[in-house]
C-alpha cells in the first residue's frame, strides 16, 4: 500500500511510556498500516510544534498522560476519526464533545485486565492460606505455627465474593474455576443464568458481603459506586474477612475501612486507596493485617507491550476495512472496569 494512502496517526501520551508500549517490532508493524512518526509524541496539545501533525491526524494513539480530549483539542484535530487508547479505562479521556462528533474509540482495557486479574488471584490464594498473618507472626516469633494457629488456614471451600463482572471481574472468574472455591458474584447487569455460566452464584451486595470469606472489588468508578462499601456494608463482612481492592479507592469509604482495619476485625489487600498515595501518617502502612501495594496490579514493565499490541492490531483491522475489535461505546462506561 503506498504511503500516501495510509491513515495519519499521532501518539498522544507521556513519552516515558512509549518504548515499553511500542517496542521496535511493534512500531515496524504499525508503520506498515499507518503513517506515524515514532519520535513525535504529543503531550501538550497547545504546543505550536504539534499543530500541523494534529491537524492532519486521523488516528490518535493515546495513553497515560494524555489530557482529556475536550472541545479545544477536537478543534485542533479536524480530521480525527478514531482514538485508540493504549491503556485501560477511557472514562477520564473522552467526553461529550468527542462522543458528539462520532469519533470511534477503542481501549486496550481487555489487555490491562490480564495482570489485574492475575494479581488478584495471587492475593486470594495467599489470603486463603493466611500467608500475611503467618508472615507477621513468623517475623516476631521465628517459630513454626501451632495447629491451633493454622486451624483457619486453607483454600478448600473458601467463599470468594466478586463484586463486578467487569472485564477484570470476568477474567478473575475464569482464573478461579480450577480451584476448590465457592464463588459468589454481585453485578446489577448480570442475571442468575449468566452468573452460572461465569462459574458463580448471583447474590445481592449485602448477602455477598455476609457470606464471603474474601471479597474482591471490580466495579467501575462512577458516581453511583462511590463508597459503595460504606461503614454499614463493611460491617457485614465476617470477623477475620479479607477485602481486596484492585479497582479504585473511591469504591470504599476509606475512613470506615481504616477504622475496621485499625480494630483488627478485618484484613485487607489494597493496591488502590483514597487518596492515592495515602499520607505518610496513615496507620495502614504499619498495620500487620494490611497488605498495601502502590497501584502495581495493572500493566507494568513488560506487560505494557500487550497493550501496544492490541492497539497495533486495531490499526491493522482499520486498514483491512474491519470494525474495531475493542470498541468502547458511551453506554458501556457504566458497567466496565
Per DSSP, 123 falls in state H
The x, y and z cell numbers of residue 10, run together, are 499521532
Q: Is 263 helix (H, G, I), strand (E, B) or coil?
A: helix
| CA pair distance 250, 269, nearest whole angstrom | 15
Q: How far apart are CA 54 and CA 40, in angstroms?
A: 11
Note the Cα 114 to chain centre separation in Å: 9
Is residue 295 part of the annotated active site? The answer reads: yes
Determine if the peptide bond prior to 139 is cis (ω within 30°). no
Strands ordered across the beta sheet of 290-292: 201-202, 182-186, 159-163, 214-217, 242-245, 267-270, 290-292
Marked catalytic residue, from 201, 295, 306, 317? 295
The answer to whether 109 and 247 are in contact (CB under 8 A) is: no
Tell me the three state secondary structure of residue 214: strand
Q: Rounded to an integer, what distance in angstroms lies between the CA atom of residue 311 and that of residue 323?
A: 13
Place of cell 475493542: 326
Is residue 248 annotated as a catalytic residue, yes or no?
Answer: yes
Catalytic residue among 96, 206, 276, 327: 276
Let me know: does 215 contact 244? Beta carbons within 8 Å: yes
Cα dist from 185 to 115, 250, 315, whole Å: 20, 20, 35
φ/ψ of residue 94, rounded to 5: -110, 160
d(CA 50, CA 201): 52
Q: Which of 167, 248, 309, 326 is catalytic?
A: 248
The reply to whether 276 belongs to the active site is: yes
Strand duo 82-85 + 59-62: pairing: parallel
12 neighbors 62 (Cβ within 8 angstroms): yes
Active site residues: 248, 276, 295
Amino acid at each position: 500500500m503506498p504511503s500516501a494512502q495510509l491513515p495519519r496517526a499521532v501518539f498522544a501520551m507521556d513519552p516515558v511510556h512509549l518504548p515499553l508500549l511500542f517496542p521496535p517490532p511493534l512500531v515496524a508493524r504499525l508503520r506498515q498500516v499507518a503513517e506515524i512518526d515514532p519520535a513525535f509524541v504529543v503531550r501538550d496539545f497547545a504546543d505550536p510544534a504539534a499543530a500541523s501533525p494534529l491537524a492532519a491526524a486521523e488516528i490518535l494513539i493515546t495513553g497515560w498522560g494524555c489530557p482529556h480530549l475536550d472541545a479545544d483539542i477536537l478543534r485542533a484535530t479536524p480530521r480525527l476519526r478514531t482514538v485508540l487508547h493504549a491503556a485501560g479505562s477511557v472514562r477520564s479521556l473522552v467526553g461529550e464533545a468527542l462522543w458528539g462528533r462520532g469519533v470511534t474509540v477503542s481501549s486496550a482495557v481487555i489487555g490491562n485486565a490480564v495482570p489485574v486479574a492475575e494479581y488478584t488471584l495471587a492475593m486470594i490464594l495467599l489470603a486463603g492460606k493466611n500467608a500475611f498473618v503467618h508472615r507477621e507472626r513468623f517475623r516476631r516469633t521465628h517459630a513454626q505455627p501451632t495447629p491451633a494457629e493454622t486451624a483457619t488456614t486453607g483454600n478448600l471451600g473458601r467463599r470468594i465474593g466478586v463484586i463486578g463482572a467487569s472485564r477484570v471481574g470476568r477474567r478473575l472468574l475464569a482464573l478461579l474455576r480450577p480451584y476448590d472455591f465457592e464463588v459468589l458474584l454481585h453485578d446489577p447487569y448480570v442475571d442468575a443464568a449468566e452468573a452460572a455460566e461465569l462459574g458463580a452464584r448471583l447474590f445481592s451486595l449485602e448477602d455477598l458481603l455476609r457470606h464471603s470469606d474474601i471479597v474482591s472489588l471490580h466495579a467501575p468508578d462512577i458516581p453511583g459506586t462511590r463508597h459503595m462499601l460504606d461503614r454499614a456494608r463493611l460491617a457485614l463482612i465476617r470477623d477475620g474477612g479479607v477485602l481486596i481492592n484492585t479497582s479504585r479507592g473511591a469504591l470504599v469509604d476509606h475512613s470506615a475501612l481504616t477504622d475496621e482495619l485499625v480494630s483488627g476485625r478485618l484484613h485487607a489487600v489494597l493496591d488502590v486507596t483514597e487518596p492515592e498515595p495515602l499520607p505518610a501518617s496513615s496507620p495502614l502502612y504499619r498495620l500487620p493485617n494490611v497488605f498495601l501495594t502502590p497501584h502495581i496490579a495493572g500493566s507494568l514493565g513488560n506487560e505494557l507491550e500487550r497493550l501496544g499490541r492490541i492497539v497495533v492490531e486495531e490499526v491493522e483491522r482499520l486498514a483491512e476495512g474491519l470494525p474495531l475489535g475493542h470498541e468502547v461505546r458511551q453506554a458501556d462506561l457504566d458497567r466496565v472496569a
